[in-house]
A = this chain, B = another copy of it.
Amino acid sequence: MIAVIKQGVTDNQIENLIAWLETQKVHVHISKGEYNTVLGLVGDTTNVDMELLQNLEIVENVMRISEPFKNANRKFHPDNTIVDVSGVKIGDGHFAVIAGPCSVESHDQILEVAGAVKQSGATLLRGGAFKPRTSPYDFQGLQADGLELLKEAKKVTGMPIVTEIMNANHLPLFEDVDLIQVGARNMQNFELLKELGRTKKPILLKRGLANTLKELLMSAEYIMAGGNEQIILCERGVRTFETYTRNTLDLSAVPMLKELSHLPVVVDPSHASGISRLVKPMALAAAAAGADGLMIEVHNNPAKALCDGAQSLTPAQFDDVMRGVTRVREALEL
């Protein structure tokens, strides 16, 4: 870490700062320039509170050289992590496709969709039971009943199930859930992350709507610091000024996250754009960019199911996406 000291700061002030820094077990190198003094902090700077340092009156600027995440950092864990979700592997060449409806609606719906997506090659079944909705008046999901229906679909199809948690108090209900999803709006719900760090469940951590990759990795670090290292990162679009698409899918996040971290990275092209016509091209692009998996919304009967959005695919459309994704991965020998 480099800290640039402001002009006009006294030697005494600098010495006080260095003394304080050294209590945090870092060595400090001083370099006096014509205009500014620069301190180089050497050693394990993970515990140094960069924001705090930046905010000191006498400090002009601070720059990290090593990243503030340890457990999630590829530098310290060069090998790709493989997350095992009840027998389905993700990462280091294992490509996973998570598919299913936005919301679990009924026994027949979830079983029909589960059967269809399995046949097309999906390896994990998703379905929302607890739904985060902007409005308190919108449908909040079938909740505990939805979880029961998911478990039935798991029994019938043998597919591990993935669903979102919104409240750490619900954890006992998630005992049979194979992969617990943290939604974009809870990516910095640190209390929830800490609780999940104490479980042994694999976690699917979605990037927040306006969070940087570094913040995403710091949230992964919250879970890992608690002892749970089974984390899958998920890019699902960020908020920009563009209005045609609901969010802007940031596919450069895939190679960037894989460079910074050893954790697997999947892409959710359904939520990013909010437009079903864009799911196929974005799924193909994500596969070509090297993603370790995809998360795609599929519904069974679009004609009847008014609740299924334009971001969902029919089983036939999903099957078509899967063929394309397989061809791209084969062509690139991924």
Residues of A within 8 A of B (CB): 2, 4, 17, 20, 27, 29, 31, 33-36, 38, 40, 42-43, 46-47, 49, 51-52, 54-57, 60-61, 63, 65-66, 68-69, 132-139, 166-169, 185-186, 188-191, 194, 209-210, 212-215, 218, 221-222, 225, 238-245, 248-252, 254-256, 259-260, 272-278, 281-282, 284-290, 302, 306-311, 324, 327-328, 330-332
Contact = CB atoms under 8 A, between A and B. Distances in A.
Given A34-B42, A63-B4, A241-B239, A188 B132 contact: yes
A243 B137 contact: no
Nearest to A5: B65
B245 A240 contact: no
Contacts of A190: 132-133, 136, 166, 185
A168 B52 CA distance: 28
Nearest to A215: B134
Nearest to A257: B244
B248 A68 contact: no
Contact of A213 (B17, B29, B244): B244
A5 B213 CA distance: 22
A34 B214 CA distance: 23
B185 A251 contact: no
Nearest to A273: B252
Nearest to A220: B136
Number of copies: 4
B56 A306 contact: yes
A309 B55 contact: yes
Contacts of A65: 4, 33, 35-36, 38, 60-61
B274 A55 contact: yes
B49 A212 contact: no
A273 B240 CA distance: 16
Given A242-B250, A307-B52, A136 B40 contact: no
A190 B165 CA distance: 12
Contacts of A250: 240, 242, 248-249
Nearest to A284: B288
Nearest to A170: B191
A138 B51 CA distance: 9
Contacts of A302: 57
Nearest to A34: B42
B255 A277 contact: yes
A-B pairs, top 10 by smallest CB distance, nearest first, are A55-B309, A210-B210, A331-B331, A285-B285, A288-B288, A284-B288, A55-B310, A167-B191, A285-B289, A185-B188
Contacts of A254: 281
9 contacts: A2-B2, A27-B34, A52-B306, A55-B310, A56-B310, A136-B194, A238-B241, A248-B248, A248-B250
Contacts of A248: 238, 240, 248, 250, 252
A205 to B, nearest CB: 14
